Structure formats: structure tokens, C-alpha cells
A = this chain, B = another copy of it.
Amino acid sequence: MARGNTRQRIQDVALELFAEQGYEKTSLREIAERLDVTKAALYYHFKTKEDIIIGIFQDLTRPMDELLAWAAEQPRTLETKREILRRYQLCLLAAAPLFRFMHENQATVRELSIGLTFKERLLALYEYLQDPEAPTKARVRAMSSVFTLHAGTFFLQNDEDDPEEKQEAVLEVALDLIEQAHRA
């Protein structure tokens, strides 16, 4: 071995196991076994168990942070909001295992020593999707558009549809919601 990518392989396997059975339930022994190394080898690459998930988190949330930075300097038009949703769906699909993990383990993620939490990023996203003075119902629709993307990406993979057609439909519904929200 010694191919230099061990660190990356640890993160890949760890995220897979964390997403499948949760962070606390996944032991370092389990991660090490799947990689055919020992626990001690893991500690050469990461100082603590928490460092493993923090590293994954930072790598994969970078696209979302870039999206937030991009959104910050756009005009507050309907087309900007549409583009935010399109890009956000791409973020979700690109880092699906991580987002699924965050979605299903919020109680764990909340207590990690990470700069920005998942929830804080989502709230930042709302900043650009909703008008603070808009009526309550419009703000609910803006929230709903984001959660529609989440649910569509992580919850309904089970039926017999073409996945691409599904993702397209999910995006359409989200776009409809943000348009209704914007008009109000």
C-alpha cells in the first residue's frame, strides 16, 4: 500500500459507515477492519475520531459555502433565487452521502466542534431566498422549496421512477414554490 491516499480512503469508508449506522454507533475498529488496517493506523492520520468527520464535513461543504458566497453578491431577483435552487440541488447530489448523514444525524452533528453548522448554513440560504418583509405564507413557501429538494434527494429513492426524471420534477416543484413566494 502506502499509496499516499490512505487519508482519503479512511474518510470515504468512515462517511459510508457513519451515514449507514450513525456516527456514535460506528467504532474506529469497524472502520479499520474494513480498510484492513489497525485502529492505531487511523490515529496516524487523524488525531481523534471527531477529526475524521470534521475533515469530511469541511471538504464536502465547500461547494455549499461557495454557493452562499456567490449568492451574497447577486441581485435579489427571482432569477437569482431560481439559480440558487438549481445550484443547491447540484450541491446535494454531488455530496449526497454527506448530506444524508447530516440530515439523519442532526443531533450528533449539532455537537461537533465545527464552525458553521448545517442548520446555520440553511438559515443563511434562506436569507437569499426570502424577503424578510414578505407575508408568513411566502416565507413558508421559500422554506418549503429547500426542504422539497432535500426530501426529494434523500427520501424518495424507493419507487420505480427514472431517477433523473424524479430529480427534474423535484426541481420543478421547488422552482414553482419559490416563484409563488417571490410574487407575494
Partner-B contacts on A (CB < 8 A): 19-25, 101, 103-108, 111, 119, 122-123, 135-137, 139-141, 143-144, 147-148, 150-152, 155-156, 158, 161, 165-166, 169-170, 172-173, 177
Q: Which residues of B contact A147 (CB under 8 A)?
A: 144, 147-148, 150-151, 155
Q: What 5 new A-B contacts, CB under 8 Å, besides A21-B111, A123-B158, A140-B166?
A: A104-B106, A136-B161, A143-B155, A144-B144, A144-B177
A-B contact pairs, 9 of them (CB 8 A): A22-B24, A25-B111, A101-B107, A105-B106, A137-B173, A139-B169, A144-B144, A144-B151, A147-B148
Once bound together, how far apart are the Cα atoms of A139 and B150, in whole Å? 15
Among all A-B residue pairs, the 6 with the closest Cβ atoms: A22-B107, A24-B24, A104-B106, A136-B169, A147-B151, A137-B169
Residue of B nearest to A132 (CB): B159
* Cα distance A143–B156 in the bound complex, in angstroms: 9
